Amino acid sequence: MSNSLLSLAGVNVFYGEFQALFDLSFDVRVGECVALVGSNGAGKSTLLKAIAGLMSPRSGTVSLRGDSIGGIGAETVVKKGVALVPEGRRLFPSLTVEENLLMGAQAKRGGPWSLERIYQLFPNIAERRRNLGGALSGGQQQMVAIGRALMTNPDLLLCDEISLGLAPVVVRELYERLATIRAEGMAVVIVEQDIGQASKVATKLYCLRSGRVVLEGSPASLSRQQITEAYFGLETTAHGHP
Amino acid sequence: MAILEVIVQAMMLGGLYALFAAGLALVFGVMRIVNLAHGDFIVMAGFLALLVIWAVPVHPFVSLLIVIPAMAAIGYVLQRGLLNRIVGADPMAPLLVTFGLSILIQNALLQAFSGDTRKLQGGAIETSSMSIGGTSVGHYPILVFVVAVGVIWGLQTLFYKTRLGYVLRATSDDAQTVRLMGVDNRHVYAVASALAFAVISVAGVLMAVRTNFDPTLGPARLLTAFEVVIIGGLGSFWGALIGGMVLGLAQAIGARIDPGIQMLVGHIVFLFVLLVRPNGLWPKVGH
Amino acid sequence: MTTAIEISRSRNFIDWPGIVGPVLATLLFGVVAGLIDLRLAADMLIYLTLAQLWNLLSGYAGLVSVGQQAFVGLGGYTFYYVAVGLGAPVLVAVACGGVAGLLAASVGSIFIFRLKGAYFAIGTWVVAEICRLTVSITPQLGGGSGASLPVSVVKALGATRGMRDMSFLIIAFMLAVVTVSSIVLLLRSRYGIALIAIRDSERAAEALGVDSLKIKRCVYIGAAFATALIGSLIFLMKLRMTPDAAFSVLDWTAYVLFIVVIGGSGRLEGPFIGTIVFFVLRAFFAAFGPLYLVILGAVAVLVMLFAPAGIWGLITKHTGWEIFPVRRRKP
């Protein structure tokens, strides 16, 4: 499809001898918001890492706008327009907020995102720009992490569990910002354990379990029960008991 | 005046030692590995300067124009080609590899240059002096001290006020995540190594002008650099200067009492600081 | 539905049968070498023992020391002082040498165990340097020019050269056998499991109640004792020591390191192979002078990069053999 941005087909990823992803296929269209749900250990982070180039698939293809990016290093994948906001934020503790953001600019991709725009988007962190990365609250750190990824001016933003450990009001604020980011036309993949939140923002949803896609479709067309079943791997009777 | 002489001697030793330590601290700070061949590379710089001077008779300080880039290139290639393969969780591999490297370099130098002691001729500056309060104070010790302060200040500024600086610090914090910003951590490690080797060159030449050197003096330099880093505190360039001064002063006083116990006094002061202040006198402060 | 649960407690049993294999191997090793030359055999057994000790320290206790020469020198010089200065019998003097190493390690460890990893390694080297410098300014020990053992002391071990060489070989055998046995017994005991646990993850081991600092210190001190005994024997054989030779990084650390790296670290079999390889290389290339050491250094670097488990590691990987197993397996 001409507006296909990212396409994975038959991807198998291993940690040593342990297989984490099995024959996985995954698509993201330009401007789309795709949610990836699943319990711990389902393979969601692994999938994002494989797309971002931190891990190499043993087989299968990963294509960005038709060009294969499977197996090339993360530092090159970023330059092609894919940015990952990693699980746990992983800010650089020895660097200030501003320096953390400037690190994103090392990818040297032109685009609309600059320090000023990031500070406009996240006023909280603008006032803390000289603080060390480690000296912020969880929500502020998450904003810096997202800002840092935006500074690479990606076409595709991968967000790994950005709501983890944050208060609901902070999570709402983050997702509002995400909506602003999306309004520019950026494609976003969000990994979420909160199915409700994921269904609200995404136009397509994948559910992973034990390294396989067990459900995919638009949130509108999938019932909550279907998603829950796929998530937990339960076959339910009409009364909802296993 | 004896005290002034001791202080001057301490300044020279301290400045030199601070330079020895700065390179070691830089590499450890960014890559978390200690190069046991560090001292041998300092000696190598001296021999490299010797080669340059044999080819083109210039003053040793002028030879730095070639020695610094040459050593930096060696540092880059060494890191990129060899040491990058062993950066990682296992602490034993870098130790063993760099120890093997140390033996290799010492003996390669021995084979090429023989065990004869050498010295670079610095000319007038080696012995020229000025008079302060009736005592003659050599120019060279002051020069060494000033250069050391300058280099340390330069490194500090580089690390905390420049783009290369925050890239180096970020890579030191989290080498995997910097890749997500398009930064090739293998290249950054190699640049850090090149930088350390540039500092090593300056230290090596300053040393080679002042004292006799031969291929086997590397390990002693390594131990000195290490003691300075521990005394001064890990993770801080100014700490290297302070550590250098403390060790230099200890040795200067020791030498004053009896030249044979100079090194021993230094070691004892090191042990004392290790016992009393295991984190050093000026541990990492940040900005 | 319940299943019966069996609880068994582990006793700290001493696995005596486990030492049979290593002891036989050591004897075989020494006897074959002894058929070539008695002194060579003693030399090889000495290096085998030093390598097993270094292997225990680095491969099992995670303590990379580049300062074991401190104990070789201390052992040798203490032996000299007790045998010559105090006139004690040879074997008593050798034992005293060992004790000196033990004491020095006990004191030294107070300081250097505050350091970790590479800095610990260099710390051990500083300790060795301090020992060397102290000895070289001590006139009673001959100072910088060294000390010689009067022949009368050595004659106590044998009237002729041949008888003395045999005595040296027997002492070397005893040291080697006792050391290798002790290492095997340690590794196959409760403490051995603790060591391997510490090696895998120190924090996790400590969370389970393992006092990792104490165990590591004990291993370090024990190894120092054995190394110092070897130092006494070395002085006894060489008759003359200078501080530079006694505390030589090259002879007592670099060569030992080479043996362990080439042979295979972390396994008992490695030092046997490494020692043989080292002596073969020495026989052929030592005449080349510095170039010989360039070759050794280069080989060590290449092995560490491309075959980090050494020769025995390669053999084990392809065949799965383990001559001296130290891991516990389910019966």
ipTM score for this prediction? 0.90
Interface of A with B in 69-88 (CB under 8 A): 73-76, 78-79, 83-84, 86
Q: Give a yes or no: residue C271 inside a domain.
A: no
pLDDT value for C140: 84
pTM (predicted TM-score): 0.89
pLDDT value for C326: 63
Q: Give a yes or no: residue A238 inside a domain.
A: no
Q: Give a yes or no: residue A242 inside a domain.
A: no
pLDDT value for B161: 93
Matching residue, tokens 């290249």: B187
pLDDT value for C87: 84
d(CA C40, CA C169): 9
Please indicate whether, in this complex, the C-beta atoms of C296 and B108 are within 8 angstroms of each other. Answer: no
pLDDT value for B285: 43
- Give partners of B (≥3 CB pairs < 8 A): A, C
Q: Which residue of B has its CA nearest to A101?
A: B181
Which residue range is the domain that position C136 belongs to?
16-248
Q: Give a yes or no: residue C303 inside a domain.
A: no
Q: What residue type is assigned to position B140 of the chain?
A: Y
Q: Give a yes or no: residue C69 inside a domain.
A: yes
pLDDT value for C36: 85
- SS3 state of residue B192: helix
Which residues of B are less than 8 Å from A103 in CB distance?
A: 166-167, 170, 178, 181, 183
* Residue B110, both tokens: 């021995």
Which residues of B are less than 8 Å from C301 in CB distance?
A: 82, 97, 100-101, 104
Q: How many residues does chain C have?
A: 331
pLDDT value for C8: 60
Q: Judging by DSSP bridges, how do beta strands A82-85 and A156-160 pair with one another?
A: parallel
Which residue range is the domain that position A56 belongs to?
4-232
pLDDT value for A36: 93
Which residues of C are less than 8 Å from B274 in CB distance?
A: 111-112, 114-115, 123
d(CA C247, CA A96): 49
* Residue A107, both tokens: 């990818």
Q: Give a yes or no: residue C289 inside a domain.
A: no
Q: Give a yes or no: residue A192 inside a domain.
A: yes
Mean of pLDDT values over B48-68:
94
d(CA C228, CA C252): 11
Q: Give a yes or no: residue A181 inside a domain.
A: yes
Name the residue among B173, B176, B179 with its Cβ closest to that of A93.
Answer: B173
Number of domains, chain A: 1
d(CA A2, CA A66): 9
Q: Give a yes or no: residue A61 inside a domain.
A: yes
Residues of chain A with confidence (pLDDT) below 70: 1-2, 235-242
- SS3 state of residue A28: strand
The angle, 0 to 180 degrees and rounded to 10, between the axes of the packed helices A97-104 and B163-173 is 90
Number of domains, chain C: 1
Q: Give a yes or no: residue A239 inside a domain.
A: no
Minimal CA–CA distance to C64: which of C115, C100, C102? C115
pLDDT per residue as tens digits for the range B235-252 = 778 999 999 999 999 999
Which residues of C are less than 8 Å from B261 in CB distance?
A: 133, 137
Which residues of B are less than 8 Å from C258 in CB distance?
A: 100
Please indicate whether, in this complex, the C-beta atoms of B100 and C298 are within 8 angstroms of each other. Answer: yes
Q: What residue type is assigned to position B159 of the chain?
A: F
Matching residue, tokens 């030399």: C43
Quickly count: other Cβ atoms within 10 Å of residue A113's Cβ. 24
Alpha-carbon distances of C31 from C26, C37, C324, rounded to whole Å = 9, 10, 20
Residues of chain C with confidence (pLDDT) below 70: 1-4, 6-14, 324-331
CATH code of the domain covering residue A79: 3.40.50.300
pLDDT value for B62: 93
CB neighbour list of residue A54: distance below 8 Å, 6 or more residues apart: A74, A84, B176, B179, B180
Average pLDDT of every residue of chain B = 91
